[in-house]
Structure 1
């Protein structure tokens, strides 16, 4: 039965016939197409067959089902129940549907042209004993016949009579005596021709354009948050991942430029800093965008910085040098009218705040500033040593606060996963993106080589969807050198993968750590190397990783942590 349920039944008669055909044990090897549309009808713009029954060793039978309780023909018009008169009676409807599709089948598949076709009319609720030259008596199944025999026998008899009628006709020699057509494989071919299965995918260029339009629309909606807090000189915008904090920070910088203010836009992550700097180029010299550390290096006039592994330098020595440099200047060149900080949760450190206090006209207590951060879940660098309330205690008066709880980046399925893995409480109040039909996918591995194979499988699937390398980022819990993506050696992928960098990497697939990619996003994210970490670190990093995804998310995880994570997802 195609479809398997009578979802398109327009009358109780069709429902009855459907049930009889489905439940009859002698129709087990038949194929029945219900409600088959006919686009190229021989006499109409389009038509429909109630049932097309394909019977092995019998033929193809077109059935017109009528559940009316009265039938009459008067003046050449057929009146079925309370319907208005119609010149095309049910027998002609069935015959025209049959001839329309038989002609198309014979033209497209000539080897099936010897399969006999027939048509009949089923009156499910009344006895029909009328005779006419316009139909054969055996082309009628009425309520009496339906009560007297199973549907399989009635339809088989019609096909037997059809065969005899064809062979007796002057031009019926094409149907050879003893012919067993259609065979089982021919039945399947006929069904596939009439109602083929198919699956179509929206091309990724269209998907990408839709995503871009959605993000533009929804982030524009988020900008009203800035309007609401315009009269407050000092504001903390707090919200989980995906709530548009970076977009709001960039818009704050643009507004400061329009107002003629000297503004400084800072963040913690160097890749995000590169993005902010590029986005702010259009604002001219009125807005400077960079990372906190690169700005302190510039202020302190340090030419050769030590490696980032020297935490004491970056967290203590560098801020002290930058502060000394500011204090030694009679007219400091690095004091700004407005301070804007993205990833503010990572800069809540006494040394950093002391430097920022000197970098702003009026200081942090009286100057104008905007801070954007996830003060619940995204402080993963370990650089901050103050809670938000401790920062407020440093000020003469607490700033205004605005809570961002509307996710404008992720699809609903990814947002839900982030809530579960991140333990967000409260969660998102709304998710603006529409459900695009995709769900996060999980691939499990046991060994390191298995993980590499899983990554290659994920890449193959994404490319089959029409994505290119620039759409895909592989994120790892580890540093670049030890990441699984760096160990891919197959000729199919090795030359197409590059470490993530501040500049666009052409059409390459890129990989980096979750730490390095924080604050950024990509159409497709493959999350890897989820092993060897504490549960708290694991869940925090996975939460950040999954929320980088705009469209597709594939999580590659070790079998040993499968139960741990899935228990959170299904709890």
Structure 2
């Protein structure tokens, strides 16, 4: 589908057909342009085609969609569409003119389309059209209505294109009889010529709103997992990146808060803790944030300048335990995200005292990815957790609802977890992960600027793009080109600029577009874990900038992708 999201103000019928065309397995090798602007219309100053279907072996079909609840034409040739004023403008003529405009434009580009059948049809999606099928103005197969929605859209439109081919052949157009046209290459060429004219029709607001609605729709399917809490007081949810764990943790915390319960929503990562706290702002009776931040608030301490692992991982938890022993204001419900990073005995001691009944008898929900997300030197702590709470119930999450299939599969393949997902909630948008090789810092900086420019062309705002690197000295933080540097800022302080962060710091968060830089090694468990986390942050677009030697090693594990 081009674009991968429907136009924001499209009528209901167009919205319906967009999703039917996108989700039908039978259209997997088709390209469908939605809301194509026609600057070179055969009759008007300009026009617009609702859908242009370009299907290998079938042809090109322009579909005019009418969403009205009723549609009829009287004996004087006047059209009555819903509550609109009567008009002499025939929707079949509209569709035909769109088709001829597109065909004429493609011919003007010197593209050989002599053997490609072009056709048009009108689909009354909301009505059983009261239009006689026999007419001088259209063929019976050009009329579709609400009843045709009972069949898969791929079958319906394939039948229309097959009928169009037969009609052309019957009229002596023998060159259209060959069923192998258009070829896949011809389809790509037609799309490449039409797409530049098309892209201006979609605004950034269209992309942003549709992406958010699409993600929310698929996350809502995870709600059923929360029903487990009604039957189980202590539940450990496990799942790979993108299976909705953070969403479920946040939703469970909101529900418990609105029930009048005292809630503690805890995670490991500082940036994620801040985001969760913002999302929980205004909900009563809750404390939300990173465990280290909550412990500092409990003790009233500030981190020492040279505080290392001994202070953060041992001394601070001991001081927090002393405070908890004295205050004794435990929560009714404890919810922990990123628990794979908190299964250390010192941290579990603190969590135990935070909760009424403790970990053994209290009410808690924990969410973790024990595959490749533990990058802080903590071993798989499920045995430790089960030792403290023998009656816990473990539930797996297996369907990815964050990433597009191509991004999710690439993240899994690169990190050696090819079978970690049982499926994807989101549809395939046809956009592969981009891989780019560099041999020097200067070359990587040039590639980074090029990728950022491309994302802006695709309507991604600066606040939707994040640049991630394994260390603080990544390409974004050390950019030398003033033009590039002026568009970048550290994540959390970026304002209207593109944010950059380390993979460690950004763990648990996601963004519509992610650029991963400074990948110099892909072998070894630590490198694979970092790649898994970094690549799985992207919801819609992903670019990976890697040293040429590392890319050759990585490429062997990737089944799909494109190189710059």
Give the deviation of 1:449 after TM superposition.
Answer: 1.1
Give the deviation of 1:320 after TM superposition.
Answer: 1.0
Corresponding position of 2:480: 489
Deviation string, structure 1 residues 113-136 (Cα, Å, up to 9, x no partner): xxxxxxxxxx9999xxxxxxxxxx
**1:441 correspondence with 2:440:** no
Corresponding position of 1:498: 489
**1:551 correspondence with 2:545:** no
Give the deviation of 1:46 after TM superposition.
Answer: 8.4
Decide which of 306, 312, 315 is 1:314's aligned counterpart: 312
Distance, in Å, in 2 between the alignment partners of 1:274 and 1:454 is 32
Distance, in Å, in 2 between the alignment partners of 1:427 and 1:476 is 24
Corresponding position of 1:205: 205
Query: TM-score, length-normalised on structure 2?
Result: 0.65
Corresponding position of 1:326: 324
CA contact (8 A) 2:522 2:550 kept: no
CA contact (8 A) 2:234 2:363 kept: yes
Distance, in Å, in 2 between the alignment partners of 1:344 and 1:497 is 32
Report how many residues are paired: 409
Decide which of 519, 526, 536 is 1:537's aligned counterpart: 526
**1:410 correspondence with 2:370:** no
**Counterparts of residues 163-202 of structure 1 (less than 5 Å):** 197-199=194-196, 200-201=198-199, 202=202
Distance, in Å, in 2 between the alignment partners of 1:303 and 1:419 is 39
CA contact (8 A) 1:345 1:374 kept: yes
**1:371 correspondence with 2:370:** no
Give the deviation of 1:356 after TM superposition.
Answer: 1.2
**1:237 correspondence with 2:237:** yes
Task: From the superposition, tell whether residues 307 and 287 of structure 1 become closer, same or farther in structure 2 (CA, over 3 Å).
Answer: farther
Give the deviation of 1:425 after TM superposition.
Answer: 6.4
Query: TM-score, length-normalised on structure 1?
Result: 0.64
Give the deviation of 1:442 after TM superposition.
Answer: 0.8
CA contact (8 A) 1:452 1:487 kept: no
Corresponding position of 2:254: 254
Distance, in Å, in 2 between the alignment partners of 1:4 and 1:374 is 41
Task: Report the RMSD for the aligned CA atoms in angstroms.
Answer: 4.0
Distance, in Å, in 1 between the alignment partners of 2:56 and 2:345 is 68
Task: From the superposition, tell whether residues 45 and 463 of structure 1 become closer, same or farther in structure 2 (CA, over 3 Å).
Answer: closer
Distance, in Å, in 2 between the alignment partners of 1:486 and 1:393 is 44
SS of the residue aligned with 1:379? Answer: coil
Corresponding position of 2:269: 269
Give the deviation of 1:207 after TM superposition.
Answer: 2.0
Distance, in Å, in 2 between the alignment partners of 1:463 and 1:484 is 19
Give the deviation of 1:387 after TM superposition.
Answer: 2.5
Deviation string, structure 1 residues 212-241 (Cα, Å, up to 9, x no partner): 001111111101101133221100010000
CA contact (8 A) 1:349 1:386 kept: no
Task: From the superposition, tell whether residues 435 and 9 of structure 1 become closer, same or farther in structure 2 (CA, over 3 Å).
Answer: closer
Corresponding position of 1:289: 288
Give the deviation of 1:9 after TM superposition.
Answer: 11
CA contact (8 A) 1:350 1:386 kept: no
SS of the residue aligned with 1:248? Answer: helix
**1:566 correspondence with 2:555:** yes
Distance, in Å, in 2 between the alignment partners of 1:47 and 1:453 is 42
CA contact (8 A) 1:203 1:465 kept: no
SS of the residue aligned with 2:528? Answer: helix
Distance, in Å, in 2 between the alignment partners of 1:46 and 1:520 is 44
SS of the residue aligned with 2:519? Answer: coil
Any gaps of 5 or more consecutive residues in structure 1? 11-38, 56-61, 66-83, 88-122, 127-140, 147-191
Distance, in Å, in 2 between the alignment partners of 1:124 and 1:435 is 35
Distance, in Å, in 2 between the alignment partners of 1:307 and 1:269 is 20
SS of the residue aligned with 2:371? Answer: coil
Corresponding position of 1:356: 351
